[in-house]
Amino acid sequence: MQNYLSNAFLAAAIAIVVSIIMGPIMIPFLKRLKVGQSIREEGPKGHYAKAGTPTMGGIIIITAVMLASFIMAGTSTEALAAVLLMLAFGSVGFWDDYIKVVLKRSLGLRAREKLGLQLLIAFLFGLLLILYFKRGTAILIPFTGHAVDLGWWYLPFIVFVVVSTANAVNLTDGLDGLASGVSFFVSLALAVICVMTGHYSLSVFCGALAGACLGFLVFNRHPARVFMGDTGSMALGGAVAAVAALTRSEIALIIIGGVYVIETLSVILQVISYQTTRKRIFRMAPLHHHYELKGWPETRVVRYFWGLSFVFMLLGIWSFWGVG
């Protein structure tokens, strides 16, 4: 175990270094490609200054995680499975970004196309878990130490978890450093759970994921020099969901990724309220925009959500203590 813990820390260090090295290379390259971020007209006025900031920076995160994982986790099949799901969802995000910022089709992939690809990838991953990894179909219940066997209901369940997690991270990615900072804390929590449940090689992947998020923050913190785009947010969502599935901590992910959940619920509630009453609950959704429109500086909103994510990280680890 001690060896894997050392490898996890080294993986984090490698991912940080790779991200920091790649930033000055990728950012000018993305600028030359003119893959600048477009800003929603109905969004906070302060965001207009962000127009043209290069996006698709998630390539930095994906590359850093892959290199660090392969160097430190070696031939671990679990780490490879997590990398593959991250890469698959990152590819969907990359395609969406490419259509929007390179081909100049503002809507990117059609909703049904994006969702169809996500469902297919998640379904294949679920089959891989059950048939190849012999993971079984039980999920662990936080705070109880008990497991519930879903049987073949596990397959639609894990498809829902993977797809909803990827899209929740995507919704969270709306302010400089928000999604990368929150995902850093989520990755740390999952790394601890991997150690608690004996998935030591997977903790190396989580270390790489945390390091990549931290390294990316060097360029993504306010004022951001690059955005991760759907390329990065989808990849992070796939990576987080993969680890949760492999460690049977899918339910605990609701707690660990509490910020993701809050951001997603704010959008759902806003849509339901407007469709049924023509009134909005929040000034704008996702929730981070609500606080911006209330007059909070962007940096304050991000720090607030980082702090909340830190609390959820501790609560999630506590909820899983002794469960594995």
Is 170 labelled a binding residue?
Answer: yes
- Which domain does 123 fall in, by range? 2-320
Q: How far is CA 251 from CA 77, 140, 255, in A?
A: 23, 7, 8
pLDDT higher than threshold 60 for residue 224: yes
The span from the CA of 312 to the CA of 206, in Å, is 17
pLDDT higher than threshold 60 for residue 324: no
3-class DSSP assignment, residue 93: helix
**Taking residues 102-116, what's their average pLDDT?**
80
The span from the CA of 11 to the CA of 24, in Å, is 21
**Taking residues 92-117, what's their average pLDDT?**
84
- Residues 284, 263 contacting (CB under 8 angstroms): no
In order, the DSSP letters of 101-117 are IIS--TT-S-HHHHHHH
> Band of the pLDDT at 49, cuts 50, 70, 90?
low
Q: How far is CA 70 from CA 14, 128, 208, in A?
A: 11, 20, 10
**In terms of Cα–Cα distance, which of 320, 324, 153 is closest to 253?**
320
**Taking residues 194-221, what's their average pLDDT?**
96
Is 7 labelled a binding residue?
Answer: no
pLDDT at 52: 73
Share of the chain above pLDDT 90, in %: 79
End-to-end CA distance of the chain: 16
> Band of the pLDDT at 300, cuts 50, 70, 90?
very high
Query: For the segment 158-167, what is each residue's pLDDT rounded down to a tens digit?
Result: 999 999 999 9
> Band of the pLDDT at 98, cuts 50, 70, 90?
confident
> Band of the pLDDT at 102, cuts 50, 70, 90?
confident
Query: For the segment 259-299, what is each residue's pLDDT rounded down to a tens digit?
Result: 999 999 999 999 999 999 999 999 999 999 999 999 999 99
**129: number of Cβ within 10 Å:** 21
The span from the CA of 205 to the CA of 198, in Å, is 14
**Taking residues 118-132, what's their average pLDDT?**
96
pTM of this prediction exceeds 0.85: yes
**Taking residues 91-95, what's their average pLDDT?**
96
3-class DSSP assignment, residue 140: strand
> Exposed, middle or buried: residue 104 (CB in 10 Å: 0-12, 13-18, 19+)?
exposed
pLDDT higher than threshold 70 for residue 80: yes
> What's the total number of domains in the chain?
1
- Residues 246, 202 contacting (CB under 8 angstroms): yes
pLDDT at 9: 94
The span from the CA of 109 to the CA of 13, in Å, is 35
- Residues 147, 107 contacting (CB under 8 angstroms): no
Q: Which of 72-76, 87-91, 137-141 has the lowest mean pLDDT?
A: 72-76
**290: number of Cβ within 10 Å:** 18
The span from the CA of 63 to the CA of 190, in Å, is 20
The angle subtended at Cα 252 by Cα 251 and Cα 256, nearest 5°, is 130
> Band of the pLDDT at 134, cuts 50, 70, 90?
confident
> Band of the pLDDT at 109, cuts 50, 70, 90?
confident
3-class DSSP assignment, residue 211: helix
Q: Which of 33-42, 86-95, 289-298 has the lowest mean pLDDT?
A: 33-42
pLDDT at 36: 60
The span from the CA of 94 to the CA of 187, in Å, is 22
In order, the DSSP letters of 46-60 are GGGGGTT-B--THHH
**Which residue's structure tokens are 């991760």?**
228
**Taking residues 208-226, what's their average pLDDT?**
97
